[in-house]
Amino acid sequence: MLKIAICDDDAKFCESFHRMLNCCFETIEAEIDIKIHLTGEALCANFSQTQYDLIFLDIELTGINGVNAGQILRQQSHEVQIVYVSSKEEYAMQLFQNRPFDFLVKPITQKRLNTLLDTYFQVFPIADRYFTYTADRRKQQIAVSEILYFESLRKQLRIMTYTGEIMIYAKLTDILSEPFSGQFLRIHQSFLVNIRHIKEFRYGEITLTNGTVLPISRSYQNAVRDFLMKREQERMLREAGL
C-alpha cells in the first residue's frame, strides 16, 4: 500500500487535493492510504508511526512551517519523497537541503498532478513496492516497506513485519530475484533484512527499528560493514548538498 500524506492548513484545499489524488489513482493499479494533516506538528508527530512514502507539504504553515517540517522528516527518513506545495515560486534554494521530489504551484491542475505521479512511478516503480506471494492457496500482497526481514527456515520462509509473521514456501534465492531485492541486505545465510529498518550496526549483529537483534555471520561481516559505511557516507554527502 502506498501511504500518502497531505499537509496544508487550508482544510478546503486538502479535501480538493484528496479528490484529485483519488482521480489519479483510478487508472493506477496500486492501493493507497491518504491522510490529511492541518499542521506541520501533526505530520511530524504521526510520521514515525506511519512512515509515509509520499508527502505533499505546504510551505507556509503556521507553527512548524514546511521547510522546518521537511528537515525533521529528513532526519527520520531518507526514503520518504516530499513534494512541496505553495502559491509562490521563490523557495527553491530554501528547499534544496530537504531534497524534495518536486514542487507544485497553486492552483494545481489535474494534468500537472497526473504528470508528477507518472514521473514518481517511473522513478519508484510499483513492482519495487510490493511482494506478491501465495498463502492459503491464494495470491496475496504486502508492501515491501512493511517487511522487517526474511528468514529462511528449511523449505519455508518467514516474512517478519511489525504486526507479526507470515509463513510461505519459498527460498531466500527467490527473494533475491525480485525487483525490490536491492532494498534488502543479506547478513546471514538465513537472513535478508530491509535496509530502511536497520537502526544500529555492530560488528556481529544488527538491531532493527522494532528492537529485534539479528546475527551477522562471519562470512558476511565485512560486506555488511562496507555497505553500511558507504551508505552512511552517501547520506552525509546528501545532507551537505554535495
Q: Express each pLDDT in 93-151 by its tens digit.
A: 556 667 788 999 999 999 999 999 999 988 877 766 788 898 888 888 888 888 999 99
pLDDT for the residue numbered 77? 79
**pLDDT > 60? residue 92:** no
Query: CA 28, CA 88: separation in Å to the nearest integer?
Result: 30
pLDDT band at 12 (very low <50, low <70, confident <90, very high): very high
**pLDDT > 60? residue 240:** no
pLDDT band at 31 (very low <50, low <70, confident <90, very high): confident
Count of other CB atoms within 10 angstroms of residue 61: 22
pTM for this model (two decimals)? 0.62
Nearest to 143 by CA among 2, 33, 17: 2
HEC per residue, 38-88: CCHHHHHHHHHHHCCCEEEEECCCCCCCHHHHHHHHHHHCCCCEEEEEECC
Nearest to 6 by CA among 60, 83, 64: 83
Mean pLDDT score of the chain, rounded to an integer?
87
Grid coordinates representing 44? 511530524
